[in-house]
Chain A
């Protein structure tokens, strides 16, 4: 009996080969048409008139100012949203209180509200015609058509990313380790630093990277609040649109390529970290 070779079994959940290849094919085609082709086109258009033209168009004062502004906005919005996201996730997962479900819905609000509407809200609240905006402008702190407004709009749109990544992880991990640290005499801040933060670091990193990618790419909300002042309040996406509308296609696509490259670097960073710390990640899940 023992020398009978096992027949070729198919797992109960395995599809027949034809179905398998059809599904893989559809997925690959979708990726190619919707994701890879546009990416290639962006870089191809940027380099349509050669490297020199592309690089030269990036040296343009407006393009440089747009890059600087976008990086500044990301540097403001991402850390603040990371802090807010951690605070919100901590609050939601470690405490029981009335209205919790409502708060979670509220955190998701920026996902469902159109960015343009969000931008309009900021204009209505802080614009020169509102009482708050009027006072701020009179005292030399304009919000709308200036950097603070763009930062606010970007933060609104990217608010859910960090909290959304953290909440499920923190719910799954429960409160037991924090409680253990409490019984061992640790203070709240020490527990956060030595127990909570290390346990959520991967989810946090992932949320921050997503938040960063979105913060750099935000168009709609920023378009409304920035006033699109060339060289001053025009971020990279806004500048790209303006250049494109002016038939400066090499300049537009060169800047688009830079923006894409920034996003790709973000993704690469994430993949690299995942690869390097695969062991840690698996250990954290296994336990």
Chain B
């Protein structure tokens, strides 16, 4: 799905989080929102997912105005920073949640739900953990379960907030490839937030470098990783990627 962000701004009370920003995300792209904390990258992601509403500006999905759509209507697969798995449910129940929450008319039958959950568990290469609880999983496993849960609703796009933030360096490298593979397999337009430039440069097709200021976060440069490396558009980008 093609996503267009048109002059979106956001203020929380008196704090400016986003200066008006515009961005076009081509269908099927894997995009990184890269920036330090306070650059508004998570706010932008949450606005895409419908968890926050912009103070001004519009969001367009495939050319259609989606600004007023509720979270449920957007069908965005969202992976939270700390994964937000339902702690009292098994992995199976976590992944099945979105399918069971559908209105009766479009809810798949029980056996179909079980089949789909099993397929997703195989996709994340953890076929045997359906009966476990989140507290019994490692950080890397939790992240993959969160990804499977987000994919279960057959989302129109995939949004990930610091998906590798809570993991140690070795697992992080492995899961990067995992996300790339899943993206290539599903072809979903995918946006992830990170403060780690290596991660952004290595994984993304398109990197959006953001910076923070008193008047809110803004976009410094949009480009392919190699172009940003070769030709940083502003002193901020040069400093940030050489850090």
- CB under 8 Å from chain A, chain B span 77-126: 77-78, 80, 82, 84-88, 97-98, 101-102
Complex Cα gap A280–B150 (Å): 26
* Total of A-B residue pairs, C-beta within 8 Å: 68
**Contact between A181 and B101, CB atoms less than 8 A apart:** yes
Q: Is the CB of A182 within 8 A of B88?
A: no
With an 8 Å Cβ cutoff, the count of chain B residues facing the other chain is: 27
Q: Are A283 and B101 in contact (CB under 8 A)?
A: no
Chain A interface secondary structure, helix, strand, loop or mixed? Answer: helix
B61 at the interface (CB under 8 A from A): no
Q: How far is the CB of A225 from chain B (nearest CB, A)?
A: 41
* Chain A: interface size category: 20 to 34
Given known pairs A183-B78, A184-B149, the reply for A190 and B84 (CB within 8 Å) is no
- Counting CB contacts under 8 A, is B72 at the interface? yes
The answer to whether A186 touches B97, judged by C-beta atoms less than 8 angstroms apart, is: yes
B217 at the interface (CB under 8 A from A): no
Interface residues of A in 181-228 (CB under 8 A from B): 181-187, 190, 194-195, 198-199
Is residue B40 contacting chain A, with contact meaning CB distance below 8 A?
A: no
Contact B87 A181 (CB under 8 A): no
Chain A residue nearest to B96 (CB atoms) is A184
Known A179-B51, A195-B86; contact A185-B133, beta-carbon cutoff 8 A: no
Is A275 located at the chain interface by the 8 A CB criterion? no
Q: Is A132 an interface residue (CB 8 A)?
A: no
Report the minimal beta-carbon distance from B15 to chain A, rounded to whole angstroms: 12
Chain B nearest CB: distance from A25 CB in Å?
39
Query: Measured between C-beta atoms, what is the minimum distance from B155 to chain A in Å?
Result: 9
B71 within 8 A of A: yes
Q: Is A286 an interface residue (CB 8 A)?
A: yes
Of listed A179, A183, A190, A287, residue having the most chain B CB within 10 A: A183
Cβ-based interface call for A284 (8 A): yes
B16 at the interface (CB under 8 A from A): no
